[in-house]
A = this chain, B = another copy of it.
Amino acid sequence: MAGPCTVESEKQLMTTALAVRKEGATILRGGAFKPSTSPYGFRGMGEEGLKLLAKARAEFGLAVITEVMTPADVPMVCEYADILQIGTRNMQNYMLLDEVGRVEKPVVLKRGMSATIEEWLLAAEYVLSQGNRNVILCERGIRTFEKMTRNTMDISAIPLIKRLSHLPIISDPSQGTGRRDLVIPLSLASVAAGTDGLLVVVHPNPDEALKDGAQSLTLEQFQGLMPQIQSVAHAIGRTILTG
């Protein structure tokens, strides 16, 4: 899964979609509704962004994953997206979990930034208990005292979840590190630890990104990443599905 943090324009999205498709990504990520720590930050394009995602899907044959932030938006997001994402700040937004538990789309549930693994599995249980069995957990780093990275990726969570649960687990090294130069090594580490997928932020021009440019891979870096992933996956006896 790859794509920009946030949908910014048709051109930005289509360029990225084409590039990630070419390298073998099968799912396009892109935020239309974006949580922003400050009310004065960019909060996404809303439904316009969803329409662009749907257009990219039609054009490139990619499935689309995007975040839903509140129960009332679930039906609208379901119209456009193939996979719903619950962000880290909403991992314990229980009424939202209830709501996505009642639809049939797969749900990617990001780990809360200070959630224990037990709390995370219980949050997944909210979705499961409403009938939606397609929950995918996503490790995206936890908050620690270390200041050089935005979060500390808890790579141990990957094999731990595999022992404790039947749910698939994927890894988001872009949010997990907050630094472009660490995304590739942490992607490879995640694969070596057994991750079932990667969610990577890619932007055609990271320095001009409206959000999270510092952690976005360039298209060239993404191109370099894909064969390395394949190679490490092969080394531990797994195969990566690409499109």
Question: How would residues 183 to 226 of chain A score, 1 for a CB under 8 Å from any chain B CB and 0 otherwise?
Answer: 00110111111100000000000000000000000000000000
Cα-based distance from A190 to B156 in the complex (angstroms): 11
Min CB–CB distance A151 → chain B (angstroms)? 9
User: Chain B residue with minimal CB distance to A35?
Assistant: B94
User: Chain B residue with minimal CB distance to A33?
Assistant: B95
Report chain B residues within 8 Å CB of A116. Answer: 145-148
> By the criterion CB–CB under 8 Å, are A185 and B181 in contact?
no
> By the criterion CB–CB under 8 Å, are B37 and A119 in contact?
yes
How many of these chains are in the complex? 4
> By the criterion CB–CB under 8 Å, are B160 and A148 in contact?
yes
Which of B94, B148, B185, B234 is within 8 Å of A194, CB to CB? Answer: B185
Q: Would you list which residues of chain A between 54 and 97 have a CB under 8 Å from chain B? A: 69-72, 89-90, 92-97
Which of B95, B96, B113, B160 is within 8 Å of A149, CB to CB? Answer: B160
Q: What is the size category of the interface that chain A forms with chain B?
A: 35 or more
The interface stretch among A3-11, A18-26, A122-130 is A122-130
> By the criterion CB–CB under 8 Å, are B39 and A126 in contact?
yes
Q: Would you list which residues of chain A between 137 and 155 have a CB under 8 Å from chain B? A: 142-149, 152-155
Which of B69, B89, B118, B149 is within 8 Å of A148, CB to CB? Answer: B118
Q: Please tell me if A12 contacts chain B, counting CB pairs below 8 Å.
A: no
**Known A39-B125, A116-B147, A155-B185; 9 more pairs at CB < 8 Å:** A37-B92, A40-B129, A43-B94, A147-B147, A156-B176, A188-B193, A192-B232, A228-B236, A231-B235
